[in-house]
Amino acid sequence: MLFSNTEDYEEFSKGIWRDNPVFVQVLGMCPMLAVTNSAVNAVAMGGATLFVLVGSSFLVSLLKGWIPKQVRISCFIIIIATFVTIADYTLLALIPTVHKELGAFIPLIVANCMILGRQEAFASKSTPRLAVMDALGMSSGFMVALLALGAVREIFGTGTLFGIELFGPAWEPWVIMILPPGGFLTLGLILLVFNWMSQRKAMFLERVAEAEGSSQ
Amino acid sequence: MNSKDPDLLLQTAPFLRQGMTTPSAMMDVIIALAPATLAALWYFGNSAVLVISASIAGAVLTEMAFVPRQRRRMILMDGSGLLTGLLLGLTLPPGLPMWMAFIGGAVAIGFGKIIWGGLGNNLFNPALVGRAFLLATFPIAMTTWTAASEGFWTFRLTNFDFPFTYTEIDGLTAASPLGLMKFDQEATDVMQLFFGNTAGSLGETSSLLLILGGIYLYLRRDIDWRVPVSIVTTVLIFSGILYSIDPLIYPAPLFSVFSGGLMLGTIYMATDPVTSPTTPLGTWIFGIGIGLLVILIRVFGGMPEGVLYSILLMNAVTPLIDRFTQPRIFGHQRSKKT
């Protein structure tokens, strides 16, 4: 079973919602804004990041006993770069058109602070099993965020989703949405909704706690 | 002696009231814009009514949706949403679909004002934010100019486009004077520009009425005269230099001043007290910056019109200008540089 105990599930699920790398930690903004002008690009980027994060988290947590503390960052980077190179050439071989659109942002996964952050904060301190769970959760959360942004931008910017036309030929594309400003605007709005929701939740919990306190 | 008619009246300060409140300042600008708005009705017929009311509706409804219920009445009654919608509407082309104007108004208030902190805290002029958004989002619809209508009831079909659609119409379009200048090197007569019988945005065509409104605003002390004067002077001098170099390529100084959105932007948008510097020296820097950028964008840039981006760019550096032009406080020494 994938989630044979609650600890695994806990590490997996926190990355999707509670500690979402994009919406809560606001990490990995560079690929987030750069490649999300269509849903396909977003999925490809999310998939590449998932592969790199899971692979390097696993390897780092296996090798954590051998990596000297002083040079750990450079060791992490070398491990991450290995997986990025694999992802780069795999994408080039399998889907060259998407690879061309993503361009420099595939090699730049190395510099994604979310990935290095997980190695430093989690993988280098835990067992391989939990590290993989954490990596899976975090990259799924990243994928969800990329897809949310990519879908909104593609729907407004071209009237399509995954290349399928949604509204017919009369649809007037919102050109700004596939340009960089559209990325910033959409991300800002999504963050706004996210913060608003967590604020509402906190207020609700506070009220519940109050009601419980007064009833006793 | 009773309390209603006392022999001795006791009051606390302040005794002198300035009388200028936010609603009255907003009302002044709306009154000043009235002639230009009426001219828009005269030249562009019912399209002016449709586009301007759609953008006002977008602005006011968004403001209503965003502000807390307790303060809704007060915030809506100050007229700033109405003014933003009106200003935005005046910068839009007459053939714009109503739904686009509505979205422009919503973005102007939602992004341009509410999210940046509300009235008095916004970094950029809200109406220009709305226009910049529309220009980047619907570039074709925003740069399709139609000539003045023959009568009030000549409908422009694009106004009634179903939301999220747009039909491109050939034949009825006319190039704006700036477009003619940029792409065909063909100058429009300055007197025509002055009275406004040209293609262009709804409220920008008649410089005369805009200047009249500006004089009214100056007399009511709502705007700082330095802003329009510095912008117009800079544009005159800079385009004069270029014109003297080669009159065939570069536009004449008077043409530069009266064409496009320069008058509308200069008098009603650059002077926005929130987004322009507060010190006299800063105001001069601000105005000269806008004037230079306008000519640079118009002459050397890719677009025919540059007023919008010049004002937004100078809005962005306004806090910096304010910081570097603080006057010396009386009795204090300028702090020595270390």
At B94 the pLDDT is 85
More confident residue, A77 or B187: A77
- Which residues of chain A have a pLDDT value below 50? 1
Chain A residues within 8 A of B136 when measuring between CB atoms: 175-176, 179, 181
Q: Determine whether the interchain pair A175/B138 forms a contact, defined as Cβ–Cβ distance below 8 Å.
A: yes
Chain A residues within 8 A of B115 when measuring between CB atoms: 188, 192
Task: Please state, in angstroms and rounded to a whole number, the distance separating the CA atoms of residues B264 and B281.
Answer: 23
Q: How far is B183 from chain A (nearest CA, A)?
A: 23
Amino acid at the residue B320: L
At A211 the pLDDT is 87
Burial class (CB in 10 A: 0-12, 13-18, 19+), B132: buried
Burial class (CB in 10 A: 0-12, 13-18, 19+), B229: middle
Domain ranges of chain B: 22-324
Q: Determine whether the interchain pair A170/B162 forms a contact, defined as Cβ–Cβ distance below 8 Å.
A: yes
The candidate with the shortest Cα–Cα distance to B78, out of B47, B118, B37, B45, is B118
Q: Determine whether the interchain pair A175/B133 forms a contact, defined as Cβ–Cβ distance below 8 Å.
A: no
**Residue A172 forms contact with B (CB below 8 Å):** yes
Residue A54 forms part of a structural domain: yes
**Sign of CA pseudo-dihedral B6, B7, B13, B17:** positive
Does the pLDDT at position B309 exceed 80? Answer: yes
**In which domain, by residue range, is A81 found?**
6-215
Task: Please state, in angstroms and rounded to a whole number, the distance separating the CA atoms of residues B144 and A9.
Answer: 56
Does the pLDDT at position B169 exceed 70? Answer: no
Does the pLDDT at position B257 exceed 90? Answer: no
Q: How far is B167 from chain A (nearest CA, A)?
A: 8
Q: Determine whether the interchain pair A175/B164 forms a contact, defined as Cβ–Cβ distance below 8 Å.
A: no
At A47 the pLDDT is 92
B22-324 belongs to CATH 1.10.3470 = no
Q: What is the mean pLDDT of residues B309-327?
A: 90
Report percent pLDDT > 90 for chain B: 27
More confident residue, B53 or A17: B53
At A56 the pLDDT is 94
Beta strand spans in chain A (E): 160-161, 164-165
Does the pLDDT at position B59 exceed 60? Answer: yes
At B43 the pLDDT is 84
Reduced to 3 states (helix: H, G, I; strand: E, B; else coil), residue A172 is coil
pLDDT tens digits along A155-186: 988 888 888 888 877 788 888 888 888 899 89
The band of B285, judged by pLDDT with boundaries at 50, 70 and 90, is very high
Could you say which DSSP state residue B334 is in? P
Q: How far is A186 from chain B (nearest CA, A)?
A: 12
**Residue A176 forms contact with B (CB below 8 Å):** yes
At B334 the pLDDT is 65
Q: What is the mean pLDDT of residues B23-49?
A: 87
Q: Determine whether the interchain pair A170/B165 forms a contact, defined as Cβ–Cβ distance below 8 Å.
A: yes
Range in A195-209, B180-194, B246-260 the model is least confident about? B180-194
**Residue A178 forms contact with B (CB below 8 Å):** no
Token code pair at residue B72 = 């809704």
Task: Please state, in angstroms and rounded to a whole number, the distance separating the CA atoms of residues B297 and B305.
Answer: 7
Does the pLDDT at position B221 exceed 80? Answer: yes
Token code pair at residue A141 = 């959360």
Does the pLDDT at position B195 exceed 70? Answer: yes
pLDDT tens digits along B104-153: 999 999 888 888 878 888 889 999 999 999 999 988 888 888 776 666 77
Reduced to 3 states (helix: H, G, I; strand: E, B; else coil), residue B165 is strand
Task: Please state, in angstroms and rounded to a whole number, the distance separating the CA atoms of residues A83 and A102.
Answer: 17
The band of B337, judged by pLDDT with boundaries at 50, 70 and 90, is low
User: Is residue B195 within 8 Å of residue B322, measured between CB atoms?
Assistant: no
Give CA separation, B108 vs B83, B119, B125, in Å: 11, 12, 9
Phi, psi of A161 (to 5 degrees): -140, 125
Residue A1 forms part of a structural domain: no
pTM confidence score = 0.85
Interface size A-B, in CB pairs within 8 Å, comes to: 27
Number of domains comprising chain A: 1
Range in A39-53, B174-188, B289-303 the model is least confident about? B174-188
The band of B253, judged by pLDDT with boundaries at 50, 70 and 90, is confident
Token code pair at residue B157 = 């079909």
The band of B85, judged by pLDDT with boundaries at 50, 70 and 90, is very high
More confident residue, A90 or B330: A90
At A113 the pLDDT is 87
Chain A residues within 8 A of B162 when measuring between CB atoms: 170
**Residue A180 forms contact with B (CB below 8 Å):** no
**Residue A170 forms contact with B (CB below 8 Å):** yes
